[in-house]
Amino acid sequence: MNPQQSLFPGTATSAVSASATELRLVTFNAQHAAPDRAHRQAAWLSQQPDADVVVLTEVGHGPGGHALLDALTHHGYTHLHALRPDLPDYSTAIASRSALEPVEIHIEVLPYRAPAADLHIAGQRVRLLGLYVPSRGPAARRNENKRAFQHAVTKALPVLLTGFEGPVVVTGDLNVVEPGHVPHYPVFGRWEYDFYRSFTDTGLTDAYRTLHPDTPGHSWYGRGGNGYRFDHIFFTADRFDLTSCDYLHAPRQQGLSDHAALCLTARPRTPRPFGGKTV
């Protein structure tokens, strides 16, 4: 697959059609699955009613990653946007049942972890950015890639929004928790909380927290059973009517991933003429 341009149609075996009026999105950590598990992941995703668009994080570089994208194509995801790394590393992919238009937002560090694309829903152009933030990494390079990638994303966020009047969604496995996360983990530094704040500082809103202000919403659990909310969806709240945003734990329970999936449904608001606020 061409690492610079991998938007391509495939032969679908599913008759499922994407909603013409709502964004129905699932964010899913693939946990660098081997081919057999990748095929099961694709089958599960294809059965989810809110999975018109899927943002896949931690996609493997080898056969498992290719198997996952191929299987999604056979399940009706006829458009894929996945910038594959030249060297072995994890990446992010966007799969959709309707057309995607790749968008260049100039994230200069590990760009294959941050694909962006536009979709057309309810007559509007909707912009989507998928992110997979590196983990803390080995002792020899502790946090170096994580800091650099987070800095590059923070720098690019205003570019994503400036001059674009349509709805915007940013989602993925950010490998950080929100300020005030329950429980509190001392391991996270201020720079990691600042990364979470960079989304809200840019004018985006945490979709899950909007609908569930008092529910921890853990999406990943450590060996000791401690929960972390690592997977997030941020959106332009003034340009969407948010219907639902929930974590689905079936992938963890069925051994498909070590993360819960995160699902969102939202209806783009009709913009007012002459540059007024959306209604």
pLDDT at 48: 96
Q: Which of 243, 251, 258, 252 is nearest to 50 (CA)?
A: 243
Q: What pLDDT score does 72 carry?
A: 98
Q: Which residues of the chain have pLDDT under 50?
A: 1-12
Report domain 23-275's class. alpha beta
The residues facing 132 across adjacent strands are 173
pLDDT at 232: 98
Spatial distance between the Cα atoms of 164 and 89, rounded to a whole number of angstroms: 31
pLDDT of the residue at 278? 60
Which pTM was predicted?
0.92
Q: What distance in Å separates the CA atoms of residue 128 and residue 277, rounded to the nearest whole number?
A: 20
| pLDDT, tens digit (0-9, with 9 covering 90-100), for 162-205 | 889 999 999 999 999 999 999 999 999 999 999 999 999 999 99
Q: Model confidence over 19-36: pLDDT tens digits? A: 999 999 999 999 999 999
**Domain map (residue ranges) of the chain:** 23-275
Give DSSP secondary structure letters for 119-155: EEETTEEEEEEEEE---S--GGGTTHHHHHHHHHHHH
What separation in angstroms does the CA of 212 have from each of 174, 193, 228, 244, 277?
19, 20, 15, 10, 26
How far apart, in Å, are the Cα atoms of 237 and each of 94, 134, 162, 233, 278?
A: 22, 27, 16, 11, 10
Across the strands, what pairs with 265?
24, 244
What pLDDT is attached to residue 3? 37
SS3 245: strand
Which of 169, 187, 175 minimizes the C-alpha distance to 149? Answer: 175
Q: How many CA atoms are closer than 13 Å to the CA of 128, on its beta-carbon side? A: 34
- Per-residue model confidence (pLDDT) at position 273: 58
* R_g (Cα) of the chain, nearest Å: 18
DSSP, collapsed to helix, strand or coil, labels residue 248 as strand
pLDDT of amino acid 276:
56
Of 94, 85, 92, nearest to 57 by C-alpha is 92
53: nearest Cα among 86, 19, 91: 19
DSSP 107: -
Hey, what's the torsion of the CAs at 183, 184, 187, 189, to 10 degrees? 140
d(CA 89, CA 257): 18
Q: How much is the pLDDT for 6? A: 41
